[in-house]
Amino acid sequence: MTAEKDLAPLLEKCFLFDATEDSYEMTGITGRIPEWLRGTYYMNGPARFERAGMRYHHWLDGDGMICAIRFGADGVRFTNKFVGTTKLKDEEAAGKFVYRGFGTAWEGDKLLRGVMLEPPNNVSVYPYNGKLLAFGEQALPLELDPVTLETKGYYDFDGALNEVTPFAAHAKTDPTNGHLLNFGVSFSMTEPMLNVFEFDPHGELVRRRRHKLEYQHSVHDFGFTQNYVAFYLSPLIMDFARFWGEGASVMESLKWEPEKGSVIFVAPRSAKEPGFRVEVPPCYCLHLINCFEEGGMVMVDVLEMDRPIYVEYQPVPDLFPTASACRPVRFVIDPVKKQLVERIAMSYDLAPDFPSTGAHLQGAKYDAFWVLGIGANGLPGRKFFDQLVKGSWKAGDVCDKWIAPAGEYLGGEPVAVMNPANPEECVVICVHSIPAEDRGEYLLFDGHSLSTGPIARLPLKNKIHAGFHTSFHFD
Ligand SMILES: [Fe+2]
């Protein structure tokens, strides 16, 4: 801990504990769960940071755990289980950490085929092709049983990918045709490449496009529209000489070089044509909010950070000590003139992250989005998410929020689930950690009335870790 004021008391109790795998009917639920909410919520996130006396340094290092909440006519069932990665199996057998982490490296640590991280598949979880897939950074997804969460094995899209294919954690489904889009960066000192994949709803590869990159950018997320894919390329650049040559972690091998500038790269989704770049302020973007086309323009909506955020994911559990301002920004891009037409920034800058717009609005015109924010952002010292916020482009800013009581935290992308029969009705789900009482719960909100507080509270038998990304699958 640093000497600054502790802006996140007891945060260690949210990270440093042994997660309990379980499956049970949730009892003690208070409030009201809308009857139309029938299906399963999924969340992935790191849930083990210590083994055999060793502690991981970085939030991204922890082993992935899936939490599921099944909302049925006969009740609500919670199930959580670690993702059965090669990493987890080998380390369980060895009784200690074996593989280098994103932010933790040590003498004698191992890599996958000696070249890349053996992934913990701890970032996201999405239903696809009748399966449930757990994704990691630059890794093959793992197929899970959607009910028991038992791991079935690595999923390679019928042989289209292999264990070293670069494949990001932010796969996205186009609601208009069920296609799954994703990307991966081929790191190379001489010819770094951006790969863009599109699969049909049944697992068949429709196309793979390759675009040359100027630098070995660290890229976590992307956006798509009906005709384009869009990437925010920040000057956070991977130095493989350090990673391979010096045994450094990914975190130690990433260099922030703002003098190289930031660009938004837009490429046709299907046509075999090169993309184009537009220059934007030299900021960092971890997550895009959404993209869509309107009036011949491509809207690229992002969470724009003054500086990279990965350095703030350490040291566990003292996170976000010096997190920079971050704000929702819309870039209006003319794809014919290949020019940036306008940059529209919201004023809310309390480190918003984990944006959600509703799955049926991916790649389509939308107005509202939901994010988590950090109320103490801007002050030095560890801190964590404690605001649930709704932003609206029509309103031009954040228009609704709920703030957790002091010393309590929120976690997991606040997934927005819209009533299929009436998309005006929206429920937002997130994790609420109460470390002073050593417990946690899930909260359900009316997405259009956050400030009135949760509409339902779902107590957890065992506390869980703050997760990363989430999804909801209707029955
Ligand atoms: Fe992410």
Q: Is residue 412 part of a domain?
A: no
Q: Give residue 353 CA to ligand 1 midpoint distance, Å.
A: 9
Q: Is residue 420 part of a domain?
A: no
Cα separation, 119 vs 461, in Å, equals 29
Q: Is residue 454 part of a domain?
A: no
Cα separation, 394 vs 348, in Å, equals 15
Cα separation, 171 vs 179, in Å, equals 10
Q: Give residue 222 CA to ligand 1 midpoint distance, Å.
A: 10
Q: Give residue 469 CA to ligand 1 midpoint distance, Å.
A: 6
Cα separation, 328 vs 346, in Å, equals 6
Cα separation, 437 vs 443, in Å, equals 16
Tell me if the bond preceding 235 is cis, omega within 30° of 0.
Answer: no
Cα separation, 471 vs 413, in Å, equals 9
Q: Give residue 169 CA to ligand 1 midpoint distance, Å.
A: 7
Beta bridge partners of 299: 292, 332
Q: Give residue 468 CA to ligand 1 midpoint distance, Å.
A: 7
- Give the pLDDT of the chain (475 residues) as one tens digit per residue: 445 689 999 999 999 999 999 999 999 999 999 999 999 999 999 999 999 999 999 999 999 999 999 999 999 999 999 999 999 999 999 999 999 999 999 999 999 988 899 999 999 999 999 999 999 998 999 999 999 999 999 999 999 999 889 999 999 999 999 999 999 999 888 899 999 999 999 999 999 999 999 999 999 999 999 999 999 999 999 998 899 999 999 999 999 999 999 999 999 999 889 999 999 999 999 999 999 999 999 999 999 999 999 999 999 999 999 999 999 999 999 999 999 999 999 999 999 999 999 999 999 999 999 999 999 999 999 999 999 999 999 999 999 999 999 999 999 999 999 999 999 999 999 999 999 999 999 999 999 999 999 999 999 999 999 999 999 999 9
Does the model's pTM come out above 0.95?
A: yes
pLDDT for position 298: 98
Residue 470 C-alpha from the chain's centroid: 8
- The arrangement of strands across the sheet holding 223-224 comes to 223-224, 228-233, 262-268, 276-280
Q: Give residue 286 CA to ligand 1 midpoint distance, Å.
A: 7
Judge whether 298 and 333 are in contact, CB under 8 Å.
yes
Cα separation, 25 vs 457, in Å, equals 14
Spell out a b/e string for 176-196, using b for 16 or more CB atoms within 10 Å of the CB, else e: eeebbbbbbbbbeeeebebbb
Judge whether 200 and 129 are in contact, CB under 8 Å.
no
Q: Is residue 274 part of a domain?
A: yes
Q: Give residue 27 CA to ligand 1 midpoint distance, Å.
A: 31
N- to C-terminal Cα separation, the chain: 46
Q: Is residue 183 part of a domain?
A: yes
Cα separation, 102 vs 232, in Å, equals 21
Domain of residue 103 covers: 33-368
Q: Is residue 204 part of a domain?
A: yes
Q: Give residue 150 CA to ligand 1 midpoint distance, Å.
A: 23
Q: Give residue 3 CA to ligand 1 midpoint distance, Å.
A: 30
Q: Number of helices (H) and strands (E) in the chain: give both, helices first.
A: 4, 34
Judge whether 255 and 243 are in contact, CB under 8 Å.
no
pLDDT for position 271: 83
Split into its structural domains, the chain has a count of 1
Cα separation, 121 vs 35, in Å, equals 33
Q: Give residue 234 CA to ligand 1 midpoint distance, Å.
A: 15
Q: Is residue 413 part of a domain?
A: no
**CATH number, position 147:** 2.130.10
Q: Is residue 259 part of a domain?
A: yes
